[in-house]
Structure 1
Amino acid sequence: MGYRIAVVGATGNVGREMLNILAEREFPVDEIAALASRRSLGSEAAFGERTLKTQDLDTFDFTGWDMALFAIGSEATKKYAPIAAKAGCVVIDNSSLYRYDPDVPLIVPEVNPDAIEGYAKKNIIANPNCSTAQMVVALKPLHDRAKIKRVVVSTYQSVSGSGKEAMDELWLQTKGMYVPGQEREPEVYTKQIAFNVIPHIDVFMEDGSTKEEWKMVAETKKIVDKDIKVTATCVRVPVFVGHSESINIETEDFLDEDEARDILREAPGIMVVDKREDGGYITPIECVGDFATFISRIRQDSTIENGLNFWCVSDNLRKGAALNAVQIAELLGRRVLKKG
């Protein structure tokens, strides 16, 4: 016996990936609905070998459906998620709307699976920010061994994190550099993204950090340990898919780089590719379409007593969004609903 699953926002980048991953991982589905706004009504979405016609989110009845995977942004989620949850359908939300709600669990299944039990308070589970998701998968096994005190992270985030329009902007600006008359001014971003990097993701806050940087701090504390100190600098780079992060950690107990490498090799959801030679590391283009979070460049930080540096790369449309949502659905099925 399988589940009745609705994918909300099925025509967007993340919604399409959710459908792909549900099919790839052979999630036990009895019935699946692809939901979208009225302007996308009737368009098609792929689910394995099947083609689904999108249905109108505005009139959809969630009664009798087991789970709804939401990928429609905070404003629309604010309207529709409570409707689905009230109808008895568990919402797994990819937006930022519920991430900081104390009555909504924020889940990365490899890190804090036990938090799933808190879903019943609102019938809603939150999916973390893409940059946080891949980082905490790497932090948790090291934290369990040596207790991380402080994290310094710089991110190199692909344009797909901003949606299809941002991907189009990068493509058109790149083409415009070579084709006279096809230059493209920035619309999605504040500055040109082609052949450039922009140290600005989301809005600025009073202390000078951006909302994206604040999210990484707040979410890491909620998912891993409230006492971890985190400082982040988030940068948009001219890459279509795949987020990269340079991570420095300071631990309470000494952790040798070789032991850290062994711990990460054994950790769920991680693949270590760390050879000290040309090309002995993973770059964003190599992680696209993969489920794993890749770790490279593991080395001691000699400037502090107990410090490590490493490089972390993941497909942001997968582990940073759609894959993590599907893993939450799998966890919910195994631990709570138990139908599949």
Structure 2
Amino acid sequence: MGMKVAVAGATGAVGREILKTLAERDFPVSEVVALASARSVGTELSYGDRTVLKVQSLERFDFKGTSIALFSPGAAISAVQAPRAAAAGCLVIDNTSQFRMEPDVPLVVPEVNPQALRRGAKRGIIANPNCSTIQMVLALKPLHDLARIRRVVVATYQSVSGAGKEGMDELFNQTRAIYVNDATTPEQFTKPIAFNCIPHIDRFMDDGATKEEWKMAVETRKILDPDIAVVATCVRVPVFIGHAEAVHVEFEVPITVEQATEVLRDAPGVQLVDKREDGGYVTPAEAAGEDAVFVSRLRADPTVPHGLAFWCVADNLRKGAALNAVQIAELAVAQGLLEGR
């Protein structure tokens, strides 16, 4: 029996990907409702091969009778609309940063901490982690189970789609302007992004870290282990889709490259592509449109007693956002969390 499912923020890059993912994975729906701001009402969006959805107003929508709502409208809007949907009996899976660190809201990556999902049943809100956190913890989980992680040092190379359609448009327009010698003014980013790298994502915090870097640290601890130390440097790069990360991990006990290779090869959601030859690794462009988190360049880190280093890439709109949200919905159904709501 199908369920009524709502997608809030449906006209954005992640919202469109959620609609696409629901259809691709044949999620059991009886009706899909696309929701967005008032200015998008009436916009037509595709769902599957034939269905066309007309966008309705998120602010005015009555969530009564809706089983699941997948939210990606921005944190400020989720802060108001997600609790309203949950109060109407809808299970909300929120892709924004609004609820991630609230103690009664689970932060879930289904392959990593599926047991956490039930903690959100009472409040009716489940949080989807930050895109960069998702791909990193998916690769870290089997390693942590094997040798227990003490510390992670990570540098991210994050595509402009992490800033939405507007970020992608800015990269396109700036790139074109350079070739025709036109002047442009950055709007979505603090400096020109075309042919450039910007070590600044989200706002600066008092300690000099950006909020994106803070998110990676606190979310990893909430999802995986509160004792793991994480330091991140998050960089925006001129790539349309696909985040990459250079990860250095220090373990509490010895771990070999061969042991890590074995567990990563069998890890759910992970694909190990690690040939020590030209092109024997995966790049963001190759990960775009794929569901997996790809791990490459696995090697020992000789600068710490028990260390490994690796490179991982993933499509930030899919596993980093839409796919993970839909997998949470699938897990909620499998665990019976919708019963009695």
Give the TM-score taking structure 1 as reference length: 0.98
Q: What SS is found at the alignment partner of 2:253?
A: coil
2:112 match: 111
Superposition pairs for residues 1-340 of structure 1, below 5 Å?
1-49=1-49, 50-180=51-181, 182-337=182-337
User: RMSD of aligned C-alpha atoms?
Assistant: 0.9
Alpha-carbon distance between aligned partners in 2 of 1:304 and 1:221, rounded to the nearest angstrom: 21
| Structure 1 letter corresponding to 2:69 | A
Q: CA deviation at 1:57?
A: 1.2
Q: Deviations over 1:155-178 (max 9, x none)?
A: 000000011111111111111111
| Per-residue CA distance 1:43-91 (angstroms, 9 max, x = gap) | 0111112111111112211011110000101111111111100000000
> Any idea what SS the aligned residue of 1:208 has?
coil
Structure 2: which amino acid aligns with 1:81? A
Distance change >3 Å, CA 40–CA 261, structure 1 → 2: same
Secondary structure (helix, strand or coil) at the match of 2:335 reads: helix
Q: CA deviation at 1:309?
A: 0.3
Superposed CA offset, 1:77-113 (max 9, x none) = 1111111000000000000000000010000001000
Which blocks of at least 5 consecutive residues in structure 2 are unaligned?
A: none
One-letter amino acid matched to 2:146: R
Q: Residue 35 of structure 1 aligns to a residue in which SS? A: strand
Which whole-Å CA distance do the structure 1 matches of 2:338 and 2:265 have between them? 30
Please state whether the residue corresponding to 1:136 is helix, strand or coil: helix
Residue pair 1:104, 1:121 contacting (<8 A) in 2 also:
no
Structure-1 separation of matches of 2:106 and 2:180: 49
Aligned amino acid, residue 210 of structure 1: T
Contact 1:172-1:183 at 8 Å conserved across structures: no
Q: SS in structure 2 opposite 1:218?
A: helix
1:169–1:184 CA contact under 8 A, matched in 2: no
Q: Distance in 1 between matches of 2:2 and 2:114?
A: 21
Look up the equivalent residue of 1:215 and give its one-letter code: K
Question: What amino acid is aligned across from residue 87 of structure 1 in structure 2?
Answer: A
Describe the superposition over 1:184-212 as per-residue Cα deviations: whole angstroms up to 9, x where unpaired.
11111111110000011111111110000
Q: How far apart, in 2, do the equivalents of 1:265 and 1:172 lie?
A: 40
Per the alignment, in what secondary structure is the counterpart of residue 304 of structure 1? coil
Take 2:30 and 2:102, find their aligned partners in 1: how far apart are those partners? 32
What TM-score comes out, normalization by structure 2 length? 0.98
For 1:48 and 1:283, how far apart are their aligned partners in 2? 28
- Aligned partners of 1:30, 1:185: CA distance in 2, in Å? 46
Q: Which amino acid aligns with 1:8?
A: A
How many aligned positions are there?
338
Tell me the CA shift for residue 121 of structure 1. Answer: 2.8
Aligned-pair CA distance for 1:4? 1.2
SS, match of residue 163 in structure 1: helix
